[in-house]
Structure 1
Amino acid sequence: MRTEDHPTAGTRTAEATAPSSPTPWRDAAFAVLGLFLPVECLGCGRPDRALCRACRADLAARPRRVRLVAGVRLDAAFEYEGLVRTLLLELKLRSRVDVARPLGGRFGTLVRAALAEAPAGTVVLRVPPSRAGARRRGFDPVVLLLARGGVRGTGRLRRVRVRGRGGPADGGPGQKERTAIERVAATIGTLRAHGVEGRDVVLVDDVVTTGVTMAEGVRAVRAAGGRVVRCVAVASVED
């Protein structure tokens, strides 16, 4: 894996930065809101903000990650650790949509940069979340993060249930209990792409760990006659 603290001209991104000037009216508004809906900064515990100014600056200073998945470049806005991990888990498990903008800014910038470098007509496709997660949340975190980052109109790959592989549907273990080889075997053939024949695609997801699911997305697009020109994720686990 390679860390890029200073992207080259071809991959330059407008990194999110902390406010450079005081905003007393905004501080006052949050202070009043905190009296009725008390919150604490998820980074340091300071009151009245989901993410205080200092922690936003810390988040903005973190480098992005670049790796390869199925031979395709993957740009990740952050490494999946510490504060980033906390924010994503709060969003996905507790529906804390108030943390979407700090994460979505850089994520959206990377997607827009990928589209700018790709041929005209390139489409953005979302690797679908698990069915259980989608039912529990009632919203798609990746779509929300993209919207906060100024990217709309994304499509989605379709998830296909493949029985007989020992997964939850067959009474077997889930992904977390499988070995790496078992995860690959259980993931191949589970995604389908439609309407991408002859088209270029940017694939997006929230967190990439082993890269197995993203690689399955690449396979699905290729099988449907499309070409994945870039993968983009909110965060990547360093290997």
Structure 2
Amino acid sequence: MTGSLLREVGSALADLVLPRTCAGCGLPGHLLCRRCAALFARPHLAAPRRFPEGFPPTVAAGSYDGRVRPAVLAFKERGRAELAGPLGTALALAVAAVVSAVPGPPPRRVLLVPVPSSAAALRTRGRDHVRELTARAVSELRAAGVPAAQARLLCRRGRVRDSAGLSAGERRANLAGTFVLRPAAGVVDGALVLVDDVVTSGATLTEAAAVLAARTRPGSPPVLGAVVAATPREPVGQRSAGFPGGSGTPFRRTR
């Protein structure tokens, strides 16, 4: 509570000293201008170029290119924590879209599981940006009547090398064994949605989903994914009726 209040006060003071500009295009007077904000309201199935085996059905609110990319980087790497508001709202849209695409009745609970950042990333940024996005997304979903909650079921162990320049297979191997369940995590009842800021190769969500799948009840929906943005890689000949402008195929309930 105190940390959140301090961030709000800091943001307000910054507005007095520095002019607020759109994180996407630089237009003065906005966190995100109307045109840039609209780019975060285009839910579609994330489509890595080579789907890793076990990649969870994942919806992205926008495409990680153009004006979306600098906006995400401003929040993630450049300290613009106030962007948790609009980007968290975008994440909520992606969560709602992926959950609604699962056949059958709506789940009794929707549990958002933030992908944990590495210890090195937390030290560098001084904050857990994915948890900030998750908290905002939960608030938005609850306001819309969705029974959502944040569930910190995963943690990281060990170290991984920088994934820049690695192939999809190399990224998966680099992450093997990285995610583990927290000691208090038991069998979970409800829809599990892994959430992150961006998906590129899909290796991170695939590894995390495999760990979570071991704690779902028989007959539960599959582990799902939702992100703010995904690297745009349209598969040929696949269009989904579930998402306007999206790609992919409908989901089925599986273990």
Q: In the alignment, which residue of structure 2 is the partner of 1:49?
A: 30
Report SS of the residue matched to 2:19: coil
Cα 1:59–1:113 change in 2 (3 A) is closer
Aligned equivalents of 2:211, 2:88: Cα separation in 1: 26
Q: Any conservation in 2 of the 1:193–1:224 contact (CA below 8 Å)?
A: no
Cα 1:216–1:118 change in 2 (3 A) is farther
Cα 1:179–1:46 change in 2 (3 A) is closer
**1:111 partnered with 2:114:** no
Larger RCO, structure (CA 8 Å, separation 6 or more): 2
Q: Which has the higher strand share?
A: 1
Cα 1:184–1:43 change in 2 (3 A) is closer
1:23-172 alignment, distance < 5 Å:
36-56=17-37, 58-59=38-39, 63-67=42-46, 70=54, 72-112=56-96, 114=98, 118-149=106-137, 150=139, 152-161=149-158, 167-168=160-161
Q: Any conservation in 1 of the 2:65–2:232 contact (CA below 8 Å)?
A: no
Q: In the alignment, which residue of structure 2 is the partner of 1:171?
A: none
Report SS of the residue matched to 2:133: helix
**1:193 partnered with 2:181:** yes
2:167 to 170, 179, 201: 179
The letter of the residue matching 2:174 is A
Q: Which has the higher helix share?
A: 1
Gaps of 5+ in 2: 1-13, 142-148, 234-255
Q: What is the RMSD computed on CA atoms of the aligned residues?
A: 2.9
Q: Please state how far the C-alpha of 1:39 moved relative to its aligned partner.
A: 3.0
Q: In the alignment, which residue of structure 1 is the partner of 2:227?
A: 233
Percent same amino acid among aligned pairs? 33
Aligned equivalents of 1:104, 1:186: Cα separation in 2: 28
Rg bigger for which structure?
Answer: 1
Aligned equivalents of 2:35, 2:193: Cα separation in 1: 33
Aligned equivalents of 1:118, 1:176: Cα separation in 2: 39
In the superposition, the TM-score normalised over structure 1's length comes to: 0.69
Aligned equivalents of 2:134, 2:15: Cα separation in 1: 27
The alignment of Structure 1 onto Structure 2 pairs a total of residues equal to: 197
Q: Please state how far the C-alpha of 1:154 moved relative to its aligned partner.
A: 3.2
Cα 1:123–1:55 change in 2 (3 A) is closer
Gaps of 5+ in 1: 1-32, 169-173
Aligned equivalents of 1:35, 1:202: Cα separation in 2: 38
In the superposition, the TM-score normalised over structure 2's length comes to: 0.65
Cα 1:199–1:63 change in 2 (3 A) is same
Q: Please state how far the C-alpha of 1:177 moved relative to its aligned partner.
A: 3.5
